Chains A and B, each alone.
Chain A
């Protein structure tokens, strides 16, 4: 039985080095490139017909577009429109990363903590910059709620500070853990099918159900990642 974590192994396809830093083109990078190509092709080719009554593909592209647009309108407000392209890119990148990971023999880049953390840190740094740019030093009030007694600052400020700084970690770990665990379960179940022979029908049925669940999780986690980013953005724009 193959090691269930072997599927997460990174393999350099084209070794590259820029100024002593390893930037080899790996299987992970390949799937990222494929994902970019697929997202772009999907979103541009589907609306090429500019049909008044959309077909299947155009409907899907419009659904994703309006889904994210509504998410920003509801969670960030009208001032969030500026960040719509970024949030939409984030959503599509995570979603296609999750979905492509479900295709056999590919690689799920969202199951790598460094990738999810890389995405989360963009959101964190971006949100913090937006917050300070809009509110100046007043943005520090984020760490001390209006109207709280001054004496409570000793407790409240560290708590708020820790909760604020743990945002990228919670974002990154949630996505990474969900994808990793899902893929490990699929792999282990698949191993059982082979090991049990005729009785492998049982884990196979379970595997079928889990696969459906994993597709749901792929969608859901992309949604969660995006909506949390929207909520952080809302905090930065409107404060508490």
Chain B
């Protein structure tokens, strides 16, 4: 086998070391830093983007917290307004009701007084009419003209008895 022929051992080793050293120098000074740089740059970009995403997330969370706080405070405010206006309205309604009640009571009282007066008046008229009727009837029946005062008294007595 040619592999075990020592004739070419020296030249093989010589060119092996020459090419290996050349490759080592080329890779370590040119190729590897380039590849390393590319990989590092990519890693940096990924990290940057992750950082950015995290920052945006915290921003968004802060905004949400702010929004929720605003929402809660405005809700409380609305509740407050609702309550105070409700109270005011209830008070007003109560006041109005009271006034209305008083007015109605006064009107009822006045009406009752009027009715009373009308009733008295009517009763007085009834007595007069009764006296007239009694006088006319007695005149027609007996032909005697009775004294007005007596007739009135008699009617009064009769009315008293009927009561």
Q: How far in angstroms is the closest Cβ of chain A from B144?
A: 143
Which residues of chain B have C-beta atoms less than 8 A from A58's C-beta?
Answer: 38
Docked CA distance A132–B22 (Å)? 27
Docked CA distance A118–B14 (Å)? 10
Docked CA distance A119–B28 (Å)? 18
Does chain A have a CB within 8 A of B3? yes
Pair A118/B10 contact, Cβ less than 8 Å: no
Interface residues of A in 5-21 (CB under 8 A from B): 5, 8-10, 12, 16, 21
Q: How far in angstroms is the closest Cβ of chain B from A176?
A: 7
Which residues of chain B have C-beta atoms less than 8 A from A35's C-beta?
Answer: 19, 23
Pair A118/B12 contact, Cβ less than 8 Å: yes
Docked CA distance A65–B17 (Å)? 22
Q: Is the interface of A mostly helix, strand, loop or mixed?
A: helix
Docked CA distance A72–B1 (Å)? 36
Which residues of chain A have C-beta atoms less than 8 A from B8's C-beta?
Answer: 10, 12, 22, 24, 26, 28, 114
Pair B38/A50 contact, Cβ less than 8 Å: yes
Pair B16/A32 contact, Cβ less than 8 Å: yes
Interface residues of A in 42-84 (CB under 8 A from B): 43-44, 47, 50-52, 54, 58, 61-62, 65-66, 84
Does chain B have a CB within 8 A of A143? no
Docked CA distance A230–B88 (Å)? 89
Return the contact of A36 from the options B26, B38, B41 (Cβ within 8 A).
B26
Q: A10-B12, A89-B28 are in contact. Are A180 and B23 (CB under 8 A)?
A: no
Interface residues of A in 66-120 (CB under 8 A from B): 66, 84-86, 88-89, 92-93, 109, 111-115, 118-119
Chain B: residues with Cβ within 8 Å of the partner, total of: 36
Q: Encode B9-38 as 1/0 by CB contact (under 8 A) with A.
A: 111111111011011101110111011111
Docked CA distance A176–B12 (Å)? 14
Pair A5/B27 contact, Cβ less than 8 Å: no
Closest A residue to B5 using CB positions: A10
Pair B15/A62 contact, Cβ less than 8 Å: no
Q: How far in angstroms is the closest Cβ of chain B from A2?
A: 14
Q: How far in angstroms is the closest Cβ of chain B from A7?
A: 9
Docked CA distance A47–B11 (Å)? 34
Q: How far in angstroms is the closest Cβ of chain A from B33?
A: 10
Does chain A have a CB within 8 A of B142? no
Pair B16/A85 contact, Cβ less than 8 Å: no
Pair B3/A92 contact, Cβ less than 8 Å: no
Return the contact of B11 from the options A9, A23, A39, A66 (Cβ within 8 A).
A23
Does chain A have a CB within 8 A of B96? no
Docked CA distance A51–B39 (Å)? 10
Pair B35/A9 contact, Cβ less than 8 Å: no
Pair B23/A113 contact, Cβ less than 8 Å: no
Binding site for A on B (CB under 8 A): 1-5, 7-17, 19-20, 22-24, 26-28, 30-32, 34-39, 41-42, 45
Provide a sorted-by-A list of 16 A–B residue pairs whose CB atoms are within 8 angstroms: A9-B2, A25-B11, A39-B27, A43-B32, A43-B34, A43-B35, A47-B31, A47-B34, A52-B41, A62-B39, A88-B32, A92-B23, A92-B27, A93-B20, A114-B9, A118-B16
